[in-house]
Structure 1
């Protein structure tokens, strides 16, 4: 078990903890997003060359989905130990696992070298990435929120969430540079490996920073009170099954479905269907996410003032409203229109992303938080990870309207989860007030 000796002389403040959590999270999301982009751009050709172009892309997105199937397992494993032995130790472990798997992808031989073993090893690495990210997010946001004063949880929790846009921007920037500076043949031959191999630098720096952070006051309080739960996942499902299900609904509508529609499928759609310049599409992804990074923190801070539920409800309604117009705009067929369609979906997505840590943390009790928020969020990713696969499969037959219908359905589901959680919290508050009055 990791100790906190390295952090004894370091002043611990909410800002320092949130920043340390964010730095490690940048690498986690860089690695995970990098795979998604590369799957859309080159993996079909390199690891599944015996298929047609569309079938190869489907197979490539299939390995992408493996990471999402693995994420709930990671949530269970790291949630269990995070609620039993601490948040910090799990964050060191997830960071190491993610970094190792990503670096290994950069070294993998392609199908032309080792045949069927190539996609098998690629799928294994993706599975390990999923395990790591499934345990990473819950621990990272808890480190930030559990160190925060109650009236600033939204703000400090949202600092960690910036790791997603920064990681996404970094992955896109490196891919853009390799794609722009190298010929298509050179990029396919070895240029795509560079972003994966560079992750080792972020791994070392992330580990160094996270080693200097102490365990959270909330977990130390649980330890001191002797409230450590033997099997957190069992107790969560026994006492809080509704909370897990409703948080999964919210995460689906707010994050996974819109995210993988706009950043993975729309990247494929723009480059492979509309035949737009790959480098310019990647540049747009980079610029939009850089521009919206501060929106995440602004949303978290605003949620401390006006409440989390209002911001979620607004985000769900906006995403449902632009589900069909987004593709109408994209089909105008220029890079500028693609950028606009990406921006319209990304803005509400990142607003709700900034509000998630504080909202989810406040739903579960301290001794079950790591497991509870990890399960709710990571179960949702199973569906989210299948979005590019579904969208690519239906596109040749029906066009984009089934994808828009899926988005609208998920936003309705998210609103339903929000209403159900609000009623659940109201009943719990009423029961507590009644007990105190008695």
Structure 2
């Protein structure tokens, strides 16, 4: 239903509100991805020995990565539950709930007894807690994207939406930094026995900080306008599948290559560098640490670039580069050179940044504002099941079966082709939806600092 606004005044960006939303989106997602990332790193380096003891190290690693995959498989549940709630009751409430869920799960993992202490109950409990982590992350991403982008100027959606995208490398950076410091300060036995738990227990402190930030936020102007117009969906999941099938397909496919590339160069590369190249754990972690630190700056730059250049073009060219890079990376590091490993990881994560920066805006733009939380969450979580969830398992299985990096590189090529297909199916976004919604809601709370520097045009 269209609403016509008689107001043509420009509503300036509420600088403080926009900054708070951007910071809350970034920090909250970073805290949740810190939790998720320490699990990923621990799965690669610790959990095989602590929770899945086996005479064959490869089997232990494979089992540990299977629990890593559980966190992705459970994400659609979070997307279904929290996504629909985000479109029905608001972005803010849902984002507080997801932060609490993943924080508690991570804290309990840090307290979980090992296999040697309680036997098979240990890996079972680990899987359950990992499942809970995934549910929380599945409901988090879509809301974090909308939190920053719905406060910001739609003409700069690529930049504003990238706040949530900075979270994963920032969280990964923090997680790897903590684990690297613990690995440097502790002996191998101390680290495996109790040192890794410290990183998980720190999550409790970080979650309190994240909650303090999010509870101080207002609801987004877009959701307030939907409330004022009584335009909230009653069955958002059904409506997304019925009215946005092409958009959902495009958004899902667009995520595959970034997920798989990230799994290769932040998770599996740790196993490859230590197991195949004979490098130390600290050296492998340091390489990922350096690459992630650069991503914190590259991702918002990539998002901003996509506001000036066609978003799909930036994304697509980067996906093609992702398909090429592994064929250069693996021969380059074959001699076990740490500087070359660092260079290879940095370039790979730079390519990832050029896809990941525009990704949030691209996905959000595929859906109408009233279905954005649900649609974005479903796309994010369903793509994770066939992308990041199985990637470490497939990398491990392919390397074990063929004893060559070539199948791994070919796997990346396939995912790049899938992502480019999704981009071709998608559409270029605009700001008309927000202008119609915000401009048409004369009853909306104008003190909530609506989307900035735009005319409240007639719908």
TM-score scaled by structure 1? 0.92
Equivalent residue number for residue 223 of structure 1: 227
Are 1:70 and 2:48 matched, yes or no? no
Alignment equivalent of 1:158, drawn from 159, 162, 176: 162
Alignment equivalent of 2:63, drawn from 51, 59, 81: 59
| Aligned counterparts of 2:92 and 2:381: Cα–Cα separation in 1 | 20
How many residue pairs get matched?
417
| Aligned counterparts of 2:217 and 2:397: Cα–Cα separation in 1 | 45
Equivalent residue number for residue 38 of structure 2: 34
Are 1:365 and 2:368 matched, yes or no? yes
Q: How does 1:93-172 map to 2 (within 5 A)?
A: 93-172=97-176
Are 1:176 and 2:175 matched, yes or no? no
Deviation at 1:332, TM superposition (A): 2.4
SS of 1:282's partner is: helix
Residues 13-70 of structure 1 show CA distances to partners (whole Å, capped at 9, x for unaligned) of: 2222111111111111101111011000010001011351000000000000000000
| Aligned counterparts of 2:38 and 2:55: Cα–Cα separation in 1 | 23
Deviation at 1:291, TM superposition (A): 2.2
Equivalent residue number for residue 423 of structure 2: 418
Moved over 6 A (4+): none
Between 1:334-343 and 1:268-277, the stretch displaced more is 334-343
The higher relative CO (CA closer than 8 Å, separation ≥ 6) is in 2
Between 1:408-417 and 1:337-346, the stretch displaced more is 337-346
Structure 2: give runs of 5+ residues left out of the alignment. 1-13, 434-459
Residues 168-214 of structure 1 show CA distances to partners (whole Å, capped at 9, x for unaligned) of: 10000000001111000110110010100011111000000000111
Equivalent residue number for residue 263 of structure 2: 260
Contact 1:154 1:355 in 2 (8 A): yes
Equivalent residue number for residue 321 of structure 1: 324
| Aligned counterparts of 1:315 and 1:51: Cα–Cα separation in 2 | 41
Structure 1: give runs of 5+ residues left out of the alignment. 1-9, 430-438
| Aligned counterparts of 1:223 and 1:66: Cα–Cα separation in 2 | 36
| Aligned counterparts of 1:261 and 1:160: Cα–Cα separation in 2 | 21
Residues 283-335 of structure 1 show CA distances to partners (whole Å, capped at 9, x for unaligned) of: 12112211231111111111111121121011111111113222112222122
Contact 1:326 1:344 in 2 (8 A): no
| Aligned counterparts of 1:122 and 1:51: Cα–Cα separation in 2 | 21
Deviation at 1:359, TM superposition (A): 1.6
Equivalent residue number for residue 350 of structure 1: 353
Residues 130-169 of structure 1 show CA distances to partners (whole Å, capped at 9, x for unaligned) of: 0000000100010111111121211111133222211110
SS of 1:385's partner is: coil
Between 1:33-42 and 1:301-310, the stretch displaced more is 301-310
SS of 2:335's partner is: coil
Contact 1:145 1:361 in 2 (8 A): no
Q: How does 1:186-205 map to 2 (within 5 A)?
A: 186-205=190-209
| Aligned counterparts of 1:275 and 1:387: Cα–Cα separation in 2 | 22
Deviation at 1:11, TM superposition (A): 7.8
SS of 1:275's partner is: coil
Compute the RMSD of aligned alpha carbons: 1.7
| Aligned counterparts of 2:408 and 2:381: Cα–Cα separation in 1 | 22
Residues 320-366 of structure 1 show CA distances to partners (whole Å, capped at 9, x for unaligned) of: 11132221122221222221221221111112211122222111011
SS of 1:106's partner is: helix
Equivalent residue number for residue 241 of structure 1: 245
Equivalent residue number for residue 11 of structure 2: none
Residues 410-435 of structure 1 show CA distances to partners (whole Å, capped at 9, x for unaligned) of: 10111111111139x89x99xxxxxx
Deviation at 1:12, TM superposition (A): 4.7
Are 1:380 and 2:389 matched, yes or no? no
Equivalent residue number for residue 3 of structure 2: none
Alignment equivalent of 2:301, drawn from 266, 290, 298: 298
Contact 2:166 2:295 in 1 (8 A): no
| Aligned counterparts of 1:330 and 1:180: Cα–Cα separation in 2 | 24
Between 1:36-45 and 1:12-21, the stretch displaced more is 12-21
SS of 1:147's partner is: coil
Contact 1:34 1:171 in 2 (8 A): yes
Between 1:262-271 and 1:355-364, the stretch displaced more is 355-364
